[in-house]
Structure 1
Amino acid sequence: MYLIITRNFPPEIGGMQSLVWGLSRELSKNYLIKVFADYHNEHKKFDEQATFSIERVGGIKLLRKFRKAQLINEYLKENKVQGIIADHWKSLELIKTSKKKYCLIHGKEINHSIGSSINKRILDVLNNVEKVIANSEYTKKLAIECGVIENKIIVINPGVDPSDELDQKSLDKVESLLKIKTPRLITVSRFDKRKNHEKVIMALRNLKQIYPDIVYICIGHGDEESNIKKLVKELDLNGQVMFFKDISSNLKNALIAKSNIFVMPSVIHKSSVEGFGIAYVEAAQYGIPSLGGKDGGASDAIDNGKTGLICDGNSLDEIYSSINTMLENKKYLEYGSNAKNFVTKFHWSRIIEEYKKIIN
């Protein structure tokens, strides 16, 4: 039996949640799996459809960590467990066992100054596990710089399920919404500083001179939403930027599939960094190429010059010229075709084999 300990699990929505769910589901096809996850108001209905055991731990966040660790430590004493896989170093911090432990790392959660108290806590956990599983080459490099022992780290990119079949009703709705607007740029992400919506919007002002019918579709919500909308108004781009949030997955997928370029030239903001960028992979499944930023793990998800482009997200000129390069002569069609072929390497059927190699 393997235990999976997580702070991030469906029905809560997010990249980490999808990753841990996919990993648990795929491992359960070959191993006995038990998941210890945080309580969620709507978890009962979700948990019923799982083919493995899920134990939820509730309570005040501060106390939950200790209660969860106590439950897991007791379970380890009373049951035969081969190993433990955790979504975060904090999930392992209070676990007392000699069993093999594996910890996923994602980027920003380990990005703390060497010698700081939190860095010491991180290293106490990560340097005492069997393997540290980084989501990208960038995250591996970051971990080494932060003091993690290099030969403990292995890179396994996040897995994805093959894309859902597109719903014709949603596709028709998108065409009705967008009408003659073209070319079409899209970002699906939280509105936060590191995602860099602002620079894309600033580049859009110049791109509008060449492509008067251009549209930028923004799907998501977050702390920066009001600032981004304010910028759109200041630059007189209300006719070029469309905002969507809390929409169905069918409509989201149709908007992606009907776009030309996925744009997310991420930057490092304070300690926040894009460790991988599963959104680039999800766009590629629909044959949509991406523009990513050089700061972070986008290079694992985008084959630069083949499935999209990597640029300096801090440079407005680079963002503008990269988008323009992809739009000129419809270069995005070639990149998109390549992206659709490239993305199969991230399918869970392949990714899970990498996990099986290390736990075996």
Structure 2
Amino acid sequence: MKQKKILIVTRNLPPLIGGMERLNWHIADELSHDNEVFLLSHIEAKCQAPKNCAFFGVRLNPLPLFLILAFIQTFLIYLRHKPDVLFAGSGLTAPIVVFWAKAFRKKSVVYIHGLDIATNHWIYNLIWVPMIRSASKVIANSTPTHDLCLKKGISQEKLTIIYPGVTYPPLPRNESLIQSIKEKYQLHDKKILISVGRLTQRKGLNEFVNFALPEIVAKHPNTILVVIGDTPNQSLNKNLQSKELIIKTAQQHSISDHILFVGNISDDTILSCWYHIADIHVFPVKHIPDDPEGFGMVSIEAAAHGTPTVAFATGGIVDAVNHQKTGILIPINRYELLAQAIISILGLSHDFKKEDFDAFCSQFSWSNLKLKFDCHIQSTI
């Protein structure tokens, strides 16, 4: 396969925290193995950018300035390097990529996440959505996102689905580090639930603590909910929940000592240990039509470690959890059923099998998804 020059433009890269940030990093890294990749993002991402990519940075904030500077920088990068394909890592940078691709008669690819296409802000619908429609190719991150794209008038012929990926097989179990973490947080002989992700309204953690956790603790008094993540400082989505709000809710039910906040974890080895430690990954995402969960990479990451997910069947989560094989999908807003499923699993009444986890997660390995991205990029040329 002939090497191509690809310019990726995205605001979503580490050290910003989140699934989109990890996804864009891996897309750039995987494409750089067989192509010449130029990566344009916020300047803070330079120290963690994939080593095989030529990195260009602009200011992260304020957002309008980022977009203006990225627009100018895209033009300058094109003049110097003449990329074959311009790739937007989310809908946010789609107008930049599509405009310059059309100006220079090149191909454009836009990767769409749920909120990229679900938002009903009039400015976004006036400018961003038409530019997304004009892209050469549009990649949706899940079946629900694909369906939202169709509703917004994106041509079926332009659309394809490529699910986000995960590191599979996962990092090997580090028993000494696992024991160290258990000792540090006094987790021996505990039933451990983990929540991994940003503290936003959509993630629904406060509602989980209010409507489900008290019943779980009543049945299994040694249960601890470990919250990995924090309120995102740089998120464009301002519908946030705070640690203080969740603690206050827990105090109302006298279960605050059953919640442990460990903050953001950027070290993959430590995060892997938490997945190994956990009995269940809880993912109580709320059904919000204007703010859908695009996919749910954390469910795949948990499954890769043999940890089942219990989640509401909303948004892209229906693609990320294999019901009864890698977790349990619950009808939306049925917190009593969510609690019952978790209680059942903690009571060892559900037999999850390693071969089911392995068969499902292998489909999402970066080695497999790399081939899909490569083929999709090549098909635009």
Q: TM-score scaled to structure 1, two decimals?
A: 0.91
Query: What's 2:324 paired with?
Result: 305
Report the Cα offset of residue 328 of structure 1: 4.2
- 1:56 equivalent in structure 2: 57
Deviation at 1:319, TM superposition (A): 1.2
Identical positions, percent: 24
Deviations for 1:203-259, whole angstroms, at most 9, x for unmatched residues?
121122322222222112113221111111110112322221145543332222111
Unaligned runs of 5+ in 2: 232-240
Q: C-alpha distance in 2, partners of 1:272/1:348?
A: 27
Determine if contact 1:103/1:129 at 8 Å carries over to the other structure. yes
CA distance, structure 2, for counterparts of residue 144 and residue 198 of structure 1? 33
Is contact 2:311-2:338 (8 Å) kept?
no
Partner of residue 276, structure 2: 257
2:234 counterpart residue number? none
Query: What is residue 363 of structure 2 aligned with on the other side?
Result: 345
Q: Which amino acid aligns with 1:207?
A: I
For the structure 1 residues 22 and 270, does the alpha-carbon distance in structure 2 shift closer, same or farther, using more than 3 Å as the test?
Answer: same
**Among residues 127, 147, 170, which one is paired with 2:177 in the alignment?**
170
1:14 lines up with 2:14 in the alignment: no
Contact 1:265–1:310 (Cα < 8 Å) also in 2: no
Q: Runs of 5+ in structure 1 lacking a partner?
A: none
- CA distance change for structure 1 residues 197 and 337 in 2, over 3 Å: closer, same or farther? farther
Within the candidate set 91, 94, 104, 2:93 is matched to: 91
Provide the C-alpha distance between the structure 1 equivalents of 2:118 and 2:46, rounded to a whole number of angstroms.
35
Q: Secondary structure at the match of 1:244?
A: strand
- 2:140/2:146 contact within 8 Å kept: yes
1:272 to 267, 283, 291: 291
Q: Does the residue aligned with 2:257 lie in a helix, a strand or coil?
A: coil
Aligned to 2:199: 191
The alignment partner of 2:341 has SS state of helix
Name the structure 1 match of 2:125.
119
* Cα distance, 1:46 vs structure 2: 3.1
1:325-344 → structure 2 map (5 Å cutoff): 325-331=344-350, 333-334=351-352, 338-344=356-362
Q: Which amino acid aligns with 1:282?
A: E
Give the whole-Å Cα distance in 2 for the aligned partners of 1:337 and 1:228.
Answer: 36
* In 1, Cα distance between equivalents of 2:38 and 2:87: 10
Q: CA deviation at 1:78?
A: 4.4
Q: Distance in 2 between matches of 1:5 and 1:294?
A: 32
Select between 73-82 and 299-308 the one with higher mean Cα deviation.
Answer: 73-82
2:31 maps to: 27
Residue 296 of structure 1 aligns with which residue? 315
Report the equivalent of 1:82: 84
User: For residue 204 of structure 1, what is the aligned residue in structure 2?
Assistant: 213
Alpha-carbon deviation of 1:99?
A: 0.7
Let me know the Cα RMSD of the aligned residues: 2.2
Q: Secondary structure at the match of 1:178?
A: coil
Cross-structure match for 2:244: 226
Partner-residue secondary structure (3-state), 2:221: coil
Deviations 1:111-146 (A, max 9, x none): 1339x3421323221111111111100111122222
Q: Which residue is 1:359 aligned to? A: 377
Question: What CA distance in whole angstroms lies between the structure 2 residues aligned with 1:165 and 1:192?
Answer: 31
Distance 1:292 1:74, change over 3 A: same
Is the 1:26–1:352 Cα contact (8 Å) retained in structure 2?
yes
Task: Pick closer, same or farther for the CA change 1:207–1:295 going to 2, 3 Å.
Answer: same
Contact preservation (8 Å) 2:11, 2:60: no
Give the letter for the 2:294 counterpart: G
Match of 1:136 among 109, 123, 142: 142
Aligned pairs for 1:94-109 (under 5 A) are 94=96, 95-96=99-100, 97=103, 98-109=105-116
Work out whether residues 119 and 290 of structure 2, in 8 Å CA contact, stay in contact via their aligned partners in 1. yes
Q: For residues 246 and 198 of structure 1, do their structure 2 counterparts lie closer, same or farther at Cα, with a shift above 3 Å needed?
A: closer
Query: Does the 8 Å contact 2:9/2:88 carry over to 1?
Result: yes
Number of the residue aligned with 2:68: 66
Kindly indicate whether the alpha-carbon contact (under 8 Å) linking 1:289 and 1:336 is maintained by their aligned counterparts in 2. no
Contact kept? 2:18, 2:197, Cα under 8 Å:
no
Give how far 1:44 is off: 4.7
Equivalent residue number for residue 236 of structure 2: none
Deviations 1:323-342 (A, max 9, x none): 234334441x5156522431
In the TM superposition, residue 295 of structure 1 has moved relative to its aligned partner by 1.6
CA contact (8 A) 1:166 1:250 kept: no
Partner of 1:155: 161
**CA separation of 1:185/1:90 partners in 2, compared to 1, >3 Å: closer, same or farther?**
closer
Selected match of 1:37 from 24, 37, 41: 41
Distance 1:44 1:23 in 2: 16
Q: Which amino acid aligns with 2:7?
A: L
Please say if residues 117 and 129 of structure 2, whose CA atoms lie closer than 8 Å, have aligned partners that are also in contact: no
SS of equivalent to 2:363: helix
Q: 1:60 Cα deviation (Å)?
A: 5.1
Shift of the 243–45 alpha-carbon distance from structure 1 to 2, 3 Å rule, reads closer
Gap change, CA 1:340 and 1:265, over 3 Å in 2:
farther
SS of residue in 2 equivalent to 1:239: helix
Length, aligned pairs only: 354
Could you say if the C-alpha distance between residues 150 and 210 of structure 1 is closer, same or farther in structure 2, counting changes exceeding 3 Å? same
Contact 2:94–2:128 (CA under 8 A) maintained in structure 1: no
